[in-house]
Amino acid sequence: MLGTGSDGHSQPLGCGTVRRALTIVSLLALVAGCGNSDSLSHQELMTRMTAACTNWHKYQSTLEDPESADDVGRYMHAQAQMIDTLTGTLAKLNPSGDDQQHFDAFVAALDGASDLFDQMADAAKADDSPQMEAISARFDEAGAKVDTTAKALGATACTGG
């Protein structure tokens, strides 16, 4: 191979220069080819999310409603743990670039709901009724956010109803 020397004339390129150039070209091709090769299509993402959310809803249905103030803390903590398990499952998914923004918003909404359940569990254990009322007022908004972000993604199986 020929290159241009400092004097403007053609001269042979050294083996090191050729190797570096080939390495750079190979790396660029690898990066370009791997960008989204392991990302899920929208349909694959929906299939996996539907399975995860169906399991989440099944587990939720096994929880008995709290009957006493002591039960409220345990119930709320169990809800938070279920959401954390769901988000852990979802974190293993790799949505395509087209779905990433809605997916991230949905996971963030789930995280927010989980935080509320944990806060309610703590307030219940502390027998702090004013705090429980304040947190309770935020549940509808958090649930609506989960539903809205799930619907925006197309993951209707992940809504509350």
The answer to whether residues 25 and 48 belong to one domain is no
The answer to whether residues 148 and 112 belong to one domain is yes
113/6 Cα distance (integer angstroms): 65
The answer to whether residues 13 and 80 belong to one domain is no
Cα dihedral 85→138→58→97 (10° resolution):
-60
pLDDT of residue 69: 73
The answer to whether residues 125 and 67 belong to one domain is yes
- Assign 128 to helix, strand or coil: coil
pTM to 2 decimal places: 0.74
The answer to whether residues 25 and 68 belong to one domain is no
Cα dihedral 113→115→119→122 (10° resolution):
120
The answer to whether residues 84 and 139 belong to one domain is yes
pLDDT of residue 160: 80
Q: What CATH number is given to the structural domain containing 112?
A: 1.20.120
Maximum Cα–Cα distance across the chain: 89
The answer to whether residues 73 and 130 belong to one domain is yes
For residue 6, the enclosing domain spans: 2-34
Tens-digit pLDDT profile for the chain (161 aa)? 444 455 555 545 454 554 554 444 433 333 333 444 589 999 999 999 999 999 999 988 898 888 887 788 999 999 999 999 999 999 999 999 999 999 999 999 999 999 999 999 999 999 999 999 999 999 999 999 999 999 999 999 999 85
- C-alpha angle 158-108-65 in degrees, rounded to nearest 5: 55
Q: Parallel, antiparallel, or unpaired: how do β-strands 2-4 and 10-12 relate?
A: antiparallel
pLDDT of residue 38: 85
The answer to whether residues 79 and 144 belong to one domain is yes
| Domains contained in the chain, number | 2
